Each structure stands twice: as C-alpha cells, then as structure tokens.
Amino acid sequence: MQGYSGIILSNDVAVDLGKGIMKKDNGESKEGKQARSINQQSRLGDAEFVANLSHELRTPLNAIVGFSQLLNQQLSHLPDQQESVQMIEQAGRHLWELIDQLIDLVKIEGGVSPIAMESIDVYQLLKDCIDLIAIVAKDKQIKVFFTPDSEPIYAKADRLRLRQVILNLLSNAVKYNVESGEVHVAASILEGNITISIVDSGIGIEKSLQDKVFQPFQRLGAQFSDIEGTGLGLSISKELIELMAGEIGFTSQEFEGSRFFIKLLPADNELRDKNKIQTIQTLTSFNAPLIKENLKLLYIEDNPTNIRFMRLLLEEFAELELITATTGKEGLAQAKKFHPDIILLDMRLPDMHGLEVLEKLAEDAAHSAKVYAVSADALPAQIELAMHAGIDGYFTKPIDINRLQKLLVA
C-alpha cells in the first residue's frame, strides 16, 4: 500500500528500530531531551508501559476501523462515498497492523516478551501453518507443496513465536509470488541442525537490495505496488529466531524466486516427552453460544464511542436486546437483573478490572451468560490470562465486526 510505509513513531517515543531499542539523540532539541529521558527510564523495557502504549494506540483505531466498517455496509447505494470509506478502513487496518508489529518489535527488543522454549513437532507446525495460508494461496492460484517424512522432527523453540515466523515467511512466499506460482516447504535434520526451508517461484529480490531485507521498514520497492505490508515482518522474524538460538537467511534470484530458511536446534529428550502431553491452546478460539430468540446482550463498557458503535452494529438484530453498563458495579447489577445470554466485557473499567467482574459473575449461581472480553489489551499474555480466568472468548479492539456478527448468528 503506497504512502504508509514511512509512518514510524512520534518523537514522544523516539524508537530507532534500525539500531536497537532507543534512539540516542545527541542534539539539544526538545525531542532529543525527551528521547533521552525516556531512554534513562527505559520505559520501553517495562511491560506495563508497553501494554499501555498498545492499549492507547488501539483505542482510537477501534473507532476509525469500526465506524468505517459500519459505514461501508450502509453506503452500498453511494459508490463514491463507499469507496472513500473503504480507503479510510484500509488505512486504519494498515495502521493497525503497523502498530501491532511495531509494539511486537519494541517488546522483543525491550525483553518484555520472553521466549518460552519447548519441544516442537516441526512437521505438524508446518502443516498447521500451510493450512492457514491455503485460502490466500488458492486465491492467487499458487500451489503449496509439502511432503513430510514419516519420522517426526522435534525442534527447540517457542511455539507461538516460531509459528509467527513461519506464517510470515509463507505469507511472503505467496504475496511476492506470481500468478499460478509455486511454494515448496521442507524440513530436514542434518548433523544435529534442523533446517526449515520455504522456496517460492516469485518475483525474487534484486541483488543490490538484498542486504536490506531484514532491516525494519524496508519494503524494497513493494511500497509502490498494491502488495500490502509494513516492512517489519522479517526484522521481527530475525529477532525472534536469534532469541531461539537459531538462524534465518535467504538466497534469491530476481524474477526467478527466493529460498528463505530457518535453522534451529533439535529439542532434547526431556522437552520432547513434555511435548507429548501438551495440548495446544488456541487463544482466539470461541465457543459460540447457542442463540435463542429474544437474545439479551449486556455490554459493560465505559467508553461512549464504543457503546455507540456497538449500538449501531447490533441494530440489524431486531430480536436482540442490548443492555449497557458503564462500570463494573453497574454491570454486575444489570447482569443480576436481566439475566443476559451474552456479556461483552471491557477489561479496563473505571472501578474494577474486567477479570474481577468475571470472578464476581461466577459467584452468582443464577449466572449462565457466555462472557466475551472486548478489549484494546491485545498482548498474548493478557489474552492468555483472561482465557485462564474462564472467559469464553476474546475480541481485541479494533473489533472485527464480521467476527462479532458471526458470533450472534451462529
């Protein structure tokens, strides 16, 4: 998407991602002093600061993406206006991805997001990732080839993070491929080293640009095409693989294709045994509620813009009664009074945390509602905490309205 890849952070945060976490500005400008002062306090290495930064950036985006999605649905009879709104939504989504990736990079560089090494069944993980990318590949008529060996390979890595890197490489292999192209995925173990390779028959990377591939915000000309991206995925991938004591690299020939590879250490036996009893928890999965007639939905949220958004969004469900509450206490009272079927719960309420509301709801014997978090707190650890506390599902803001609507008509 042209025109967006130049967005970095404001001087309030002054992150120089090319050289490390903090910008050491030697000038005497106000911004420089501000950057140094932040550097001294090392706030970007502080988990709470990063969580707040993520939350604050996502909150206004929720309104931008949310309302433009709604308007898009309502403006089908006015194609010009609809196109403008679609551009707002597209820009909002780009910003959303950029914020997500930037926060991720800041977290990794600041050591806020520790790596949890475990034993990973490489073939299984590759298979899961290929399944996820299959729809996009099919749209471009790209064939993905993968033939795992019968003997499994176990690598020592952080499951979620390795998955993220493989998805990034697969997504690039499809994005920068040609119509009806091919992607070949393979994994092997040789002399104690595991190598995963993803080979594509795509546009390749010009020789003179190859040393920039892992640098943040470098899109190597893709910013002038309609291929969406932020130029951050590979720099994040490199950081992550190196944290796992691995290596990532590539070879490429312009107009012929590229081969990206990851080298990882094999898992030791102890980790391997642990892996057998571990089940993969999908944090974003939802146990969709059974919808009955005269559905009652309680939305506990203090932000009036979000309430307005939800009201407009749910207007199409004539049989649905929306009840709102702006504090945890009021929410609990409404839940007792109306016995809602679904509760959408903001996690940062003025009087208590969403998880406290959840705990108190569980104390009420008459409570049988499905409770879904709707929150700008989007860090995996925050989502995991809520899932462990027994939440039925987690919507991160900006809310994907299609997902929410699907939940109500399931």
* Site residues, ligand ADP (CB under 6 A): 168, 172-173, 176, 200, 202-205, 213, 218-220, 222, 229-234, 258
Q: How far is the CB of 228 from ligand ADP (least distance, A)?
A: 7
Which CB sits closer to ligand ADP, 107 or 156? Answer: 107
Shortest reach from residue 4's CB to ligand ADP, in Å? 11
Which residue lies nearer to ligand ADP by CB, 129 or 347? Answer: 129
SS3 42: coil
Residue closer to ligand ADP by CB (options 54, 258) is 258
Residue whose pair of structure tokens reads 């590879």 in the numeric block = 261
Distance CA(30)–CA(303), nearest Å, equals 33
Least spacing, CB of residue 113 vs ligand ADP, in Å: 18
The two three-digit tokens of residue 229, written as one number: 């991206």
Pairing of strands 154-157, 342-345: unpaired
Closest approach, Cβ 78 to ligand ADP, in A, equals: 33
Q: Which is nearer to ligand ADP, 92 or 393 (CB)?
A: 92
Give burial (CB, 10 Å; 0-12/13-18/19+) of 31: middle
* Minimum separation from the CB atom of position 377 to ligand ADP (A): 25
CA distance linking residue 181 with residue 390, whole number of Å:
44
Q: Please, are residues 327 and 366 in contact by the beta-carbon 8 Å criterion?
A: no
Residue nearest to ligand ADP (CB): 229
Token pair listed for 107: 């977290």
Cβ of residue 136: shortest distance to ligand ADP, in angstroms? Answer: 13
* Torsion region of 370: left, alpha or beta (phi above 0 gives left; psi -120 to 50 gives alpha): beta
To ligand ADP, the closest distance from the beta carbon of 221 in angstroms equals 6
Count the helices and strands in the chain (H runs, E runs): 12, 12
Q: Which is nearer to ligand ADP, 35 or 203 (CB)?
A: 203
Report CA-CA distances (Å) from 191 to 188, 195, 230, 265, 365. 10, 11, 36, 10, 59
How far apart, in Å, do the first and last CA atoms of the chain sit? 34
Instruction: Name which of 203 and 264 has its Cβ closer to ligand ADP.
Output: 203
Nearer to ligand ADP, 153 or 205 (CB): 205
Shortest distance, position 387 Cβ to ligand ADP, whole Å: 28
Nearest to ligand ADP of 213, 262 (CB atom) = 213
Contacts of 381 (CB under 8 A, 6+ apart): none
Q: Would you say 54 or 168 has its CB closer to ligand ADP?
A: 168
For residues 4 and 98, is the Cβ–Cβ distance under 8 A?
A: yes
Handedness of CA 66, 1, 133, 103 (dihedral sign): negative
Written as six digits, the tokens of 172 are 């690039």
196 within 8 A of 168, measured Cβ to Cβ: no
For the CB of residue 240, give the shortest distance to ligand ADP in the complex, in Å. Answer: 12
